[in-house]
Amino acid sequence: MFAAISMSRNPREDDSMSNKIPHRIGLSAAILLCFSLAGNVYAGNLVLEAQTMDRSADPCTDFVQFANGKWLAANPVPADRARYGAYDEVTERNLSALKTIAEDAAAGTTKGAAATLVGAFYRSGTDEARIEAAGLKPLAAELAGIDAVGTRAELIAIIAHQHRRGINSVFTFFVDQDAKNTQRYIPQLAQGGLGLPDRDYYLKGDAKTRVIRSKYVAHVARMFGLLGDAPAQARLNAATVMALETGLARASMTKVQLRDPQATYHLMGVAGLARRSGYRGWAGYFRHIGLAAPGDVNVAQPKFFAQAGHMLAATALPQWKTYLRWQLINATAKDLAQPLVEADFDFYGRTLAGTKELQPRWKRVLITIDHTAGEALGELYVEKFFGPAAKAGALDMVANIKLAMRDRIASLEWMGAATKQQAMKKLDTLVVKIGYPDVWRDYRALRIDDASFAANTLRANAFEFARGLAKLGKPIDRKEWGMTPPTVNAYYNPTMNEMVFPAGILQPPLFHVDADAAANYGNTGATIGHELTHAFDDEGRQFDADGNLKSWWTKEDEKNFLRRVSGIEKQFDEFAPIDAIHINGKLTAGENIADLGGLKIALQALKKSLAGKPQPADIDGLTVDQRFFVAYAQSFRENMRSEKLRLQLATDPHAPAKYRVIGPLANMPEFADAFACTGNRSPLRPAGQRVNIW
């Protein structure tokens, strides 16, 4: 429901600093802490890395190379990654810090409920001998339940059971705010049930997509073989899965269609769902997930549920049982014995993303813990890696950026007074969360032990499912977070009208209170501006100050806004990063609007913060404005495998990193002025084509 951006930067690693940190914290953790301990570090190095620039490049004609050239040449994609950029650098250091935390918890060095949970979870995931010896035993009860299905009623019951365990067979269920009445939680049903990344992988006819489909079917057959099926039967089962998933894909909305919140809001009761879908088993489904009387339900894609309902009623039970076995093993393979882990990685890592090697087990285990019980891990993380100075500095920057946004709204020539008043109201009521939750999640009802990593993961999924159900009928929890504290990311949630910045994104080299202001505003400031602009992008602007999906625009202002949005869609449609595959301007519109708006707002906030003060001197031969833009570009430095790039272009609402730099800058005369770009060297689009929204 919320939009998010990944922005991160990497500090210059100084090996001498690591000697100042106690050994038990670890080298990577030391890098995160070193700037607060080494008072003599030059502030200009805290965020912007001048030594990674390529000064031989012309900033006007190839700014990405100018800002990042030496880094790009020196940092090829590691074998265990599909891409490597600033985001990944910080994530790697966070993982190393979390490894130390988890190892201390596993050894009993750290005390408390969070440490007990994390320690047991980590021990279960790193006990390779036990995992290999167990084989498929952790799935025995699940497989037996599928095998026992003999009626349509038992079919929907086992689907409900899988949903409660975090396995989204056929469709997806979750609890969230009612988009048009955000003071209440309601059940939500959405399309799902596919093993490939998107519906288009089942339906497109180009050669590369056909090859991926063929490899997917072979992968599914391989997994059935690992479940014990004979080769011929495994191939038949894979064909069954492909046929069922293709049927679901044909009725699924596209990624672009899913971006329209009005198109995914259809409130109805169980009786209405039964009528619309032609399937009578919905009451049984809700009963089996624990909702005897679900009340109003948002059915996001009625067309999809009509198709799913038809298939649930008409497709033979043996075919469904085959599909459910696949869904089970596909969801759990990464937590099981090595042959299953390798097979899963071979398709989803190597084939789809081009990754050469599997990540070490300890990384994979930490990622799983973060995804399933992340606030326990986060509670331990913030004790070591997030202090009050960082929070205060971030809040100060947020305040300045909100003031800059207020100024920009007031000065918009295309928006009338009535709409401006509502925009100001939304801006004034927007909530900001920094660092970590005020109230930590209570995991006392979650049983985690040393016995089975896969069983722990399934129980953690079940805990989260039950936690979601428990929200129904209760007041909105405005203290809840949608990301864990170590996450190097941020998000805006329109139904809460809030933007959230975890501790992981608010530390060196992403942000430091003593860093050069221009660099701080160019990276973290642009991140804050980006999330703030999401409140007013083509999706966010449809939600009012209370988070309700309700128009607050005059017809004329809406028309003016949409005309400007079409301009940024057309601009990004022109970019073709690989194999003549163009960026989808409609799919990426929200992120592109937020990138451009966030950068403009951050620059204006920087100017306001420096007003009335002595202007900062040049640093590393760069003026204030130049440092601002270089820091922004360095946040998007990234090398990526071609397979991953194709996957991103097909499925991701974010444009590839390079274009998130050159796209906004082509609309900003401030950039051309900063680097004296004139004539044929100017990167600016013609004046009549430049996009200026917020």
Asked if 284 contacts 153 with a C-beta cutoff of 8 angstroms, the reply is: yes
- Find the DSSP H helices in 22-62: 27-37
90-94, 268-272, 488-492, 677-681, range with the lowest pLDDT: 90-94
In this prediction, residue 512 has a pLDDT band, given cuts at 50, 70 and 90, of confident
**Distance of alpha carbon 343 from alpha carbon 340, whole angstroms:** 5
Q: Residue 507: what pLDDT?
A: 73
24-28, 287-291, 329-333, 383-387, range with the lowest pLDDT: 24-28
Coil, helix or strand for 55? Answer: coil
Q: Say which residues have a Cβ less than 8 Å from residue 438's Cβ, sequence separation at least 6.
A: 479
Q: What is the mean pLDDT of residues 614-631?
A: 95
* Shared fold status for 3-102+393-437+481-689 and 137-335: no
Q: Residue 27: what pLDDT?
A: 19
- The answer to whether residue 37 scores a pLDDT higher than 60 is no
Q: Residue 8: what pLDDT?
A: 27
Angle (CA) 46 49 55, round 5°: 155
Q: What does the DSSP assignment read for 390-456?
A: HHHHHHHHHHHHHHHHHHHHHH-SSS-HHHHHHHHHHHHH-EEEEES-SS----TT----SS-HHHH
Q: Residue 569: what pLDDT?
A: 98
Between 21 and 498, the higher pLDDT residue: 498
- The answer to whether residue 7 scores a pLDDT higher than 90 is no
**Distance of alpha carbon 606 from alpha carbon 47, whole angstroms:** 15
- The answer to whether residue 20 scores a pLDDT higher than 60 is no
CATH number of 3-102+393-437+481-689: 3.40.390.10
pLDDT tens digits along 218-248: 999 999 999 999 999 999 999 999 999 999 9
**Distance of alpha carbon 249 from alpha carbon 383, whole angstroms:** 45
Q: Residue 462: what pLDDT?
A: 98
Q: Quick one: tokens of 347?
A: 């398709």
- The answer to whether residue 426 scores a pLDDT higher than 90 is yes
- The answer to whether residue 25 scores a pLDDT higher than 80 is no
SS3 sequence of 184-242: EEEEEEEECCCCCCCCHHHHCCCHHHHHHHHHHHHHHHHHHHHCCCCHHHHHHHHHHHH
In this prediction, residue 303 has a pLDDT band, given cuts at 50, 70 and 90, of very high
- The answer to whether residue 267 scores a pLDDT higher than 90 is yes
pLDDT tens digits along 527-542: 999 999 999 999 999 9
The position carrying tokens 């922005």 is 7
pLDDT tens digits along 452-485: 999 999 999 999 999 999 999 999 999 999 999 9
Q: Say which residues have a Cβ less than 8 Å from residue 92's Cβ, sequence separation at least 6.
A: 28
- The answer to whether residue 491 scores a pLDDT higher than 60 is yes
Q: Residue 34: what pLDDT?
A: 26
Q: Residue 619: what pLDDT?
A: 95
pLDDT tens digits along 38-61: 222 233 456 789 999 999 999 999
Q: Residue 46: what pLDDT?
A: 65
CATH number for 137-335: choose from 3.30.450.370, 1.20.1540.10, 1.10.1380.10, 3.40.50.460: 1.10.1380.10
pLDDT tens digits along 173-212: 999 999 999 999 999 999 999 999 999 999 999 999 999 9
In this prediction, residue 10 has a pLDDT band, given cuts at 50, 70 and 90, of very low
Q: What is the mean pLDDT of residues 253-275?
A: 98
In this prediction, residue 1 has a pLDDT band, given cuts at 50, 70 and 90, of very low
Q: Residue 514: what pLDDT?
A: 84
Q: What is the mean pLDDT of residues 636-659?
A: 97
Q: Say which residues have a Cβ less than 8 Å from residue 433's Cβ, sequence separation at least 6.
A: 481, 498, 499, 500, 501
The position carrying tokens 């499925």 is 651
Angle (CA) 428 432 438, round 5°: 135
Q: What's the chain's average pLDDT?
A: 92
Residue 412: closest CA among 421, 425, 402, 399: 421
Q: What is the mean pLDDT of residues 391-417?
A: 96
Task: Domain ranges for the chain, please list them.
Answer: 3-102+393-437+481-689, 137-335
**Distance of alpha carbon 237 from alpha carbon 487, whole angstroms:** 38
